A and B are shown apart, each in its own frame.
Chain A
């Protein structure tokens, strides 16, 4: 039965979420340089979020309008962060070109993620 398979899939996703949770919390106990540890912890969080959004919120097979509604505010939030970065940099050190270069990274990452998601989107079955 399709729904039985669907339920089994939901449980499999949960197992992966728990594995990622255990992996990210284990980082706190391991002697890893903070920069690498933080990157791993947030990397695991992004993967967990994508799993929940794709599998539990069914974004894996949604109409483009739903993607647009999810991605537009996310892009605006990223824009807020990028727009405020120079002010934060002014508190830390003097203004630097590297800050602006660094600001391009989240924009590029968000754009690539959006394009990848849209390419993977498919119309739901009638």
Chain B
């Protein structure tokens, strides 16, 4: 959808032409927000990589994380990304029932991710690997904890849209709002796509 912002005069020509943005202002705002998120996670991941290069002992500490649980959680998030994309597709088809089913699946998979992550934390803390057990574990809990907080926010947002759709059905702006919520959810998935090999796999490659 093209959004006509204002009229601007082309310098020297004396002709007034409409300035059009081929992207909605809301989407620009969403991407500015995501740009900030990229800086937060990118900075932390960059520090993790560089400090790991400087401290050889990290690989031994990282062997204690369970990559099988991490892989399963990755599958859960990837599937939730698909259901979120399908929710947008259903909204464009004006199918409220489809939107509700897809959003419910997305929210449930997000909750499943958090539940599995909680189980993983309790297992690791039970084995004595706490956030203050060393630099690796410090980064591990910080990165995955911050990510889990983002997943929790995403679950809340998706649940809100699910409730709104159930109560008043689809409205003219539903697809646009679902697209914004989807951008956030896919970004959360994208961060995990890098956290999984970084935290789980790279330390377990023999």
Chain A residues lying within 8 Å of B86, measured Cβ to Cβ, are: 7, 10-11
Mask of B55-83 contacts with A, CB within 8 angstroms, 1/0: 00000000000010001001100110110
When the two chains form their complex, are residues A52 and B190 in contact, meaning their CB atoms are under 8 A apart? yes
A27: nearest chain-B partner, CB-CB: B205
> In this complex, which of A18, A31, A32 has the most chain B Cβ atoms within 10 angstroms of its Cβ?
A18
Size of the A side of the interface (Cβ < 8 Å), in residues, is: 55
When the two chains form their complex, are residues A25 and B201 in contact, meaning their CB atoms are under 8 A apart? yes
Given B45, B92, B186, B190, which contacts A6 in the complex, CB threshold below 8 Å?
B92
Mask of B81-97 contacts with A, CB within 8 angstroms, 1/0: 11011100110110000
Kindly state the separation between the CA atoms of A76 and B35 in the bound complex, as whole angstroms.
11
Kindly state the separation between the CA atoms of A77 and B35 in the bound complex, as whole angstroms.
11
Chain A residues lying within 8 Å of B204, measured Cβ to Cβ, are: 28
Is B118 in the interface zone, CB < 8 Å from A? Answer: no
Kindly state the separation between the CA atoms of A77 and B47 in the bound complex, as whole angstroms.
10
Known contacts A14-B82, A52-B189: A73-B39 contact under CB 8 Å: yes
Mask of A24-67 contacts with B, CB within 8 angstroms, 1/0: 11011001101001100110110011001101111000110110
When the two chains form their complex, are residues B50 and A81 in contact, meaning their CB atoms are under 8 A apart? yes
Known contacts A21-B75, A73-B38: A28-B205 contact under CB 8 Å: yes
Is A117 in the interface zone, CB < 8 Å from B? Answer: no
Nearest-neighbour CB distance to chain A for B188, whole angstroms, equals 10
Kindly state the separation between the CA atoms of A67 and B127 in the bound complex, as whole angstroms.
44
Given B67, B85, B190, which contacts A49 in the complex, CB threshold below 8 Å?
B190
Is A69 in the interface zone, CB < 8 Å from B? Answer: yes
Chain A residues lying within 8 Å of B31, measured Cβ to Cβ, are: 66, 69-70
Given B22, B36, B92, B189, which contacts A63 in the complex, CB threshold below 8 Å?
B22
Chain B residues lying within 8 Å of A45, measured Cβ to Cβ, are: 193-194, 196-197
Mask of A80-108 contacts with B, CB within 8 angstroms, 1/0: 11001101100110000000000000000
Nearest-neighbour CB distance to chain B for A18, whole angstroms, equals 7
A45: nearest chain-B partner, CB-CB: B197
Is B187 in the interface zone, CB < 8 Å from A? Answer: yes
Kindly state the separation between the CA atoms of A79 and B35 in the bound complex, as whole angstroms.
15
Is B28 in the interface zone, CB < 8 Å from A? Answer: yes
Is B27 in the interface zone, CB < 8 Å from A? Answer: yes
Is B176 in the interface zone, CB < 8 Å from A? Answer: no
Given A25, A38, A70, which contacts B202 in the complex, CB threshold below 8 Å?
A38
Is B43 in the interface zone, CB < 8 Å from A? Answer: yes
> In this complex, which of A24, A27, A73, A91 has the most chain B Cβ atoms within 10 angstroms of its Cβ?
A73
When the two chains form their complex, are residues B186 and A57 in contact, meaning their CB atoms are under 8 A apart? yes
- The 7 A-B pairs with the shortest beta carbon distances in the complex, nearest first, are A77-B42, A37-B205, A14-B82, A73-B38, A69-B31, A91-B54, A10-B85
